[in-house]
Chain A
């Protein structure tokens, strides 16, 4: 077998292992290890590489942002900020038709601004908003669907763990990527709210009425969310303005949310222990996949597959837009069964060279930012599509009286909203790139 064939064959083998329920990171590690051994014809190169690869991967300065953002999310969950956000959104939006669901989406967006993970956002906001939604007579389908969808805002609105990984894989500027994701993130929140407005008009019995809140109540509730605003402004503003590196920004954010949790009484020794435990398990999970991907991608580079694939696709003369659509379709399909981070780590080393070799009428860097944001949105759709949508599972497990099929159904309009938004972003790259162009 040539090395190219080995590279090609590694995909079905890898997928088979993954579908046999091997941990994804482990599967990549094993296939990458065996593949490098076969391609180089001896075990010496891969074993030599492993002497320093583990340490080099785990001590990467750009990756050190990940555990800090995860810790920040844990502190934010402890600090009662999710309650404050939901309360504020609810007093302002709650009296509209479907308003409490819109408030849940708004609060998810706010929480996403201090938390870089979709699951954490869905889980945290679910705990706060789900009981309220049911109290005001929202149907199980709408209540769980809007929260599962709202959770995906956690990763879309910066800070975002998946964007950090994309930036490292494609050697892009993480600050510009965060900036590029900003407007699409806000559009996502607005799109979900519009979806809710349409939903409750089509199915009027799926939402109840809530009395409008008084002006004083609104202002008090709004004042309660100041820590979120301050921390978000400090972290993202500080990173954009070049006051500090993204890693330093993550440290500032974690310190800020930690202080809030401390003052709100959520950060006892026991609470701190739980924060560290949560951070530890998520960090271990993410970095093990990153390590597996490092070994696997090393093998792919040896096999020359990424360059060959890029050349082949470029010389085929297919329309670049068709190639892009095919790639996004792949993500949608894989997203149904796989988590976003593994998908990014597995596919970007192949897809990114292919897309880079095509002409979309954009400069190379802008294309990379635009492609990254679109891929991010599409892989996040996987979190709310059956059969394996982690956000759906998380929210559904909190509402024991709602059958999973109802949650699937409730999330469907939001998937549609995602698809429409992706189409708009593809047709008008300026929406994604405007902020970057303006500030650089």
Chain B
């Protein structure tokens, strides 16, 4: 039986990814509309000004919003060659270490991203065409990075549970 925490974390990762997906689809539609507008310049229409700046900001947000789900579903690429035969327990211990390191990395990345946000805000840096403050995009990304760190921390606890064999099956992702 899965715990309530497990389900709550999955839901958090899932909805964060959905938010990223919504932004990605918005980026897609914006780009298509911009191309159509550019094709209809003769009819008095035009491309959306600064569309590529929105594409860049949107993609960055979407990617960070996707990372928690990837971590939750063990989506990261690993080389499963030498340790495939050593049994479940040693592998579970390695999972704990890998997830601990991942959590540390995620925390450092989030921390530095937050400092980067402060930098961009104090410089008052804006994008070239649309002139919107760059720190807005940083703030949006910080949301994804924060959730990523949380989910990483949860996966440490999850893999600890697996070393005790409480959770039974350990899935190896095929992605």
Interface of A toward B, CB cutoff 8 Å: 18-26, 29-30, 47, 50-52, 54-55, 58-61, 63-64, 67-68, 71, 119, 243-244, 247-248, 251-252, 254-255, 258, 273, 276-277, 279-285, 287-289, 337-339, 341-342, 387-388, 390, 393-394, 397
Contacts and interface: CB of A to CB of B under 8 A. Distances in A.
A123 to B, nearest CB: 9
Contact of B116 (A52, A64, A258): A52
A119 to B, nearest CB: 8
Interface in B65-99: 65-71, 73, 75-83, 91, 94, 98
A26 B98 contact: yes
Interface string B1-35: 00000000000001001101100110111011011
Nearest to B51: A248
Interface in B44-64: 52, 55-60, 62-64
B77 A54 contact: no
26 contacts: A20-B94, A21-B79, A21-B98, A23-B76, A51-B112, A52-B116, A54-B145, A55-B141, A59-B56, A59-B60, A64-B55, A67-B62, A247-B52, A248-B31, A252-B31, A276-B21, A276-B24, A279-B21, A279-B24, A281-B66, A281-B70, A285-B75, A285-B76, A287-B66, A287-B67, A342-B77
B91 to A, nearest CB: 7
Given A23-B102, A50-B112, A273-B18, A252 B32 contact: yes
A206 B25 CA distance: 45
A253 to B, nearest CB: 10
Shortest Cβ-Cβ A-B pairs, 7 listed: A284-B70, A276-B21, A23-B76, A51-B116, A59-B60, A251-B31, A280-B66
Contact of A64 (B59, B76, B174): B59
Interface in B33-47: 34-35
Interface string B153-175: 00000000000000000000011
Interface in B93-119: 94, 98, 101-102, 105, 108-109, 112-113, 115-116, 119
Contacts of A248: 31, 34-35
A25 B59 contact: no
Given A22-B98, A23-B98, A26-B98, A284 B59 contact: no
Contact of B81 (A19, A22, A58, A282): A19
A168 B108 CA distance: 26
Contact of B17 (A19, A24, A258, A276): A276
B32 A20 contact: no
Nearest to B173: A281
Given A50-B108, A59-B59, A68-B24, 19 more contacts: A18-B79, A19-B79, A21-B98, A24-B78, A26-B76, A26-B105, A52-B119, A55-B137, A58-B64, A247-B55, A248-B31, A258-B28, A280-B65, A280-B66, A284-B63, A284-B70, A284-B75, A285-B76, A289-B77
B85 to A, nearest CB: 11
A60 B59 CA distance: 8
A287 B63 contact: yes
A247 B65 CA distance: 20
Interface of B: 14, 17-18, 20-21, 24-25, 27-29, 31-32, 34-35, 52, 55-60, 62-71, 73, 75-83, 91, 94, 98, 101-102, 105, 108-109, 112-113, 115-116, 119, 137-138, 141, 145, 174-175
Nearest to B98: A22
B114 to A, nearest CB: 9
A71 B75 CA distance: 17
A29 B70 contact: no
A21 B91 contact: yes
Given A19-B82, A61-B52, A388-B81, A30 B101 contact: yes
Given A26-B101, A283-B66, A284-B71, A58 B59 contact: yes
Contact of A24 (B60, B76, B102, B116): B76
A279 B17 CA distance: 9
A124 B38 CA distance: 35
A394 B175 CA distance: 9
Contacts of A258: 28
Nearest to A238: B35
Contact of B73 (A19, A281, A283, A393): A281
Contact of B78 (A23, A50, A51, A247): A23
A60 B56 contact: yes
B63 A58 contact: yes
B174 A63 contact: no
Contacts of A23: 76-78, 98, 102
Contacts of B75: 281-282, 284-285
A339 B75 CA distance: 13
Contacts of B102: 23, 26
A273 B139 CA distance: 25
A18 B94 CA distance: 12
Contact of B138 (A55, A64, A254): A55
Contact of B63 (A20, A21, A67, A390): A67
Contacts of A21: 78-80, 83, 91, 94, 98
Contacts of A254: 28
A20 B69 CA distance: 23
Contacts of A67: 24, 59, 62-63, 66
